[in-house]
Amino acid sequence: MYSLAVSDHFMIAHSFRGEVFGPAQKVHGATYGVEIEFRRPQLDDNGLVCDIGLALELLRDVLAEFNYQNLDELPVFKGRNTTTEFLAGEIFQRIKVRVAEGAVGAGTAGQLASLRVVLRESPVAWAAFEGALN
């Protein structure tokens, strides 16, 4: 399986509900490093998984929806603990929709097998979500 990955970062504020989160129940900030990795069994006629520039643009567009936001104030996340795991899945879903719309190149969507989204909340802790794209 071939893969292509791009990365960026975003900054948010949020809080969690539940004693398991200890002091993170209070509003706090986080800077996430994000990596997305597209996979496909064969390269296209140009020898590519997908257009790396379009992949990076797509990632930046999706992260812009969260960057510098207090996630507790966004209606779409009302009542949710926006954990690192949850956010990895949320970013995956948003990218999957845009890939289907052609965001990484016309005709590419049907050729991509899967996507892995990794969120790094620190050098020693991260979460991921991975799934099929077609």
The reported pLDDT for the residue numbered 107 is 82
> How does residue 38 score in pLDDT terms, banded at 50, 70 and 90?
very high
Q: Report the pLDDT averaged over residues 89-100.
A: 97
pLDDT at 109: 83
Helix axes 84-100, 52-64, angle to 10 degrees: 130
Report the pLDDT averaged over residues 25-53: 96
Average pLDDT over residues 108-118: 94
- What are the residue ranges of helices labelled H in 41-128? 52-64, 84-100
Q: Looking up tokens 């990218």, which residue turns up?
A: 95
Provide the 3-class DSSP secondary structure of residue 63.
helix
pLDDT mean across residues, the chain? 96
CA distances from 43 to 108, 124, 134 (A): 10, 33, 16
